[in-house]
Amino acid sequence: MPGLDCEVRVDCRAGGAFCAKCCRNAVVPLLREDYERLKAMLGDVEGYVEWVEGVPVLKRVNGACVFLEEATGRCRVYEDRPLACRLYPLVYSPGTWVHADPRCPRAASVTMDVVARCGSLVEKFPLLLKESWGLELGATRSQPAPLAASSASAGAIQRGSRRGR
């Protein structure tokens, strides 16, 4: 993904498995690049994707991302995971700009160097999403950042990245 290659790496190991907190109860929006990459790898990507307000998001199974391997906390598409996943736990809000999501147990390990390197991409993620799918600005109720989030019903086109493994 030329120009979209920022990645935040945190140590997600927790006990004998991976934390995976950010992959549960999450809504992961896909840029067109994410969608095409997964489609090239999986073929029928529609089996893993649903459309919310004109944007494809990863399906969830019992609240967790369809690609989460529950027993281990591993991501089945780790090497090809979406940009939103790569940027998490960085999130953006107008009041605080880019910061590490305090809901991530490893938020404190994200350095200011990482924020400086990936922050502008986090900030413009919603715009990239809208450009990807030909949506007008303000056409969705999206949060202004990729963000590990709670519910699609809140109109959340949100979510973030993972993880150093």
Q: Does 133 bind ligand SF4 (CB under 6 A)?
A: no
Site for ligand SF4 in 91-130 (CB under 6 A): none
| Three-state helix/strand/coil letters over 1-21 | CCCCCCCCCCCCEECCEECCH
Q: Does 87 bind ligand SF4 (CB under 6 A)?
A: no
Q: Does 8 bind ligand SF4 (CB under 6 A)?
A: no
**Residue 86 burial class via C-beta count within 10 angstroms: exposed 0-12, middle 13-18, buried 19 and up:** buried
Distance CA 37, CA 54 (A): 19
Inter-residue contact 148 to 159 (CB < 8 Å): yes
CB nearer to ligand SF4: pick between 65 and 128: 65
CB nearer to ligand SF4: pick between 97 and 164: 164
Inter-residue contact 33 to 4 (CB < 8 Å): yes
Site for ligand SF4 in 14-33 (CB under 6 A): 23, 26, 28
SS3 state of residue 66: coil
Q: Residue 126 belongs to what H/E stretch? A: helix 112-132
**Residue 10 CB, nearest approach to ligand SF4 (Å):** 12
Which of residues 12, 27, 57, 75 is near ligand SF4 by CB under 6 A? 75
CB nearer to ligand SF4: pick between 76 and 141: 76
Residue ranges binding ligand SF4 (CB under 6 A): 23, 26, 28, 58, 65, 67-68, 75, 77, 81-82, 85, 162
